[in-house]
């Protein structure tokens, strides 16, 4: 499986953010997007997720399900945690499992996701009363409640302490170890295995 982006040109309003960008991400690999704020990391991730249509170029997932779009085969986690405050921690996880997973609704995947992100003791706790870090961990737990081969993560360590960041890194490493792909925008070194970097500032200068 391979994510391929070819000759991407992306505009936001009247501003050209990405100009002629091509890259690929192979099975079991992480592509880390770097660059200053406003360089286009979030815009690129949103384009890969299908939220923004590029002015030119295309994105495809070779070896994926030909009946599904790239977006339908991806987890996209942005700056919002997408946590429903009116639900408990486990109800939020169950919602994402039911929404995203067509097969396994046994609860084992949900419990494993909460356990991985250290939320098992808060399972019945109202999400409205979680701390910022706990809400971020709950938002990230949806990566594990349903299988998607491609993970698109925008500053995923925001609001996380060191121990919680290590939980995320472990999840990403396990995902790529099983043949998954990931594209991650971050300002911080994460110590990920099988990762390479795409500097969007350098790409813009080259363009």
Q: For the beta carbon of residue 43, count every other beta carbon within 10 angstroms.
A: 21
- According to the model, what pLDDT value does residue 37 have? 85
Q: Is the pLDDT of residue 106 over 70?
A: no
The answer to whether residues 112 and 144 touch, using CB atoms and an 8 Å cutoff, is: yes
- According to the model, what pLDDT value does residue 115 have? 97
Q: For the beta carbon of residue 20, count every other beta carbon within 10 angstroms.
A: 15
Q: How close are the terminal C-alpha atoms of the chain, in Å?
A: 28
Q: DSSP character for 120?
A: G
Quick one: CATH architecture of 2-206?
3-Layer(aba) Sandwich (3.40)
Angle at 39 between CA 132 and CA 18, to 5 degrees: 125
Give tens-digit pLDDT for 125-158.
999 999 999 999 999 999 999 999 999 999 999 9
DSSP readout, 40-64? Answer: SHHHHHHHHTTSS--SEEEEEEETS
Q: Is the pLDDT of residue 205 over 60?
A: no
Mean pLDDT of 155-181: 96
Q: Is the pLDDT of residue 206 over 90?
A: no
1 burial type by CB count under 10 A (0-12 exposed, 13-18 middle, 19+ buried): middle
DSSP readout, 160-184? Answer: --HHHHHHHHHHHHHHHHTT-EEEE
- According to the model, what pLDDT value does residue 189 have? 84
DSSP readout, 63-112? Answer: TS-TTS-TGGGEEEE-SS----TTSBHHHHHHHHHHHH-SS--SSHHHHH
- According to the model, what pLDDT value does residue 36 have? 86
Q: What is the pTM for the complete model shown?
A: 0.92
Residue 204 pLDDT class (50, 70, 90 cuts): low
Produce one character per residue of 156-172: b if its CB has 16 or more CB atoms within 10 Å, e if not.
bbebbeeebbebbbebb
Sorted by where each begins, the domain ranges of the chain are 2-206
Angle at 169 between CA 150 and CA 31, to 5 degrees: 45
Give tens-digit pLDDT for 30-84.
999 998 888 899 999 999 999 999 999 999 999 989 999 999 999 999 988 989 9
Query: Does residue 22 sit in helix, strand or coil?
Result: strand
- According to the model, what pLDDT value does residue 102 have? 60
């Amino acid at each position: 499986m391979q994510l391929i982006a070819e000759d991407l040109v992306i505009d936001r309003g009247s501003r050209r953010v990405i100009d002629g960008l091509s890259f690929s991400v192979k099975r079991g690999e992480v592509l880390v997007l770097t660059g200053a704020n406003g360089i286009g990391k979030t815009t690129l991730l949103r384009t890969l997720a299908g939220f923004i249509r590029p002015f030119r170029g295309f994105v495809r997932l070779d070896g994926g399900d030909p009946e599904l779009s790239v977006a339908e085969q991806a987890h996209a986690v942005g700056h919002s945690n997408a946590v429903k405050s009116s639900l408990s921690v486990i109800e939020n996880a169950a919602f994402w499992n039911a929404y995203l997973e067509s097969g396994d609704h046994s609860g084992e995947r949900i419990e494993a996701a909460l356990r991985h992100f250290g939320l098992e003791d808060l399972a019945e706790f109202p999400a409205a009363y979680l701390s910022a870090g706990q809400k971020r961990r709950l938002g990230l737990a949806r990566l594990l409640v349903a299988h998607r081969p491609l993970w698109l993560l925008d500053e995923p360590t925001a609001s996380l302490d060191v121990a919680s960041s290590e939980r995320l890194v472990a999840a990403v490493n396990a995902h790529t170890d099983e043949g998954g792909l990931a594209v991650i925008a971050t300002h911080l070194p994460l110590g990920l295995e099988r990762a390479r970097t795409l500097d969007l500032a350098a790409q813009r200068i080259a363009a």
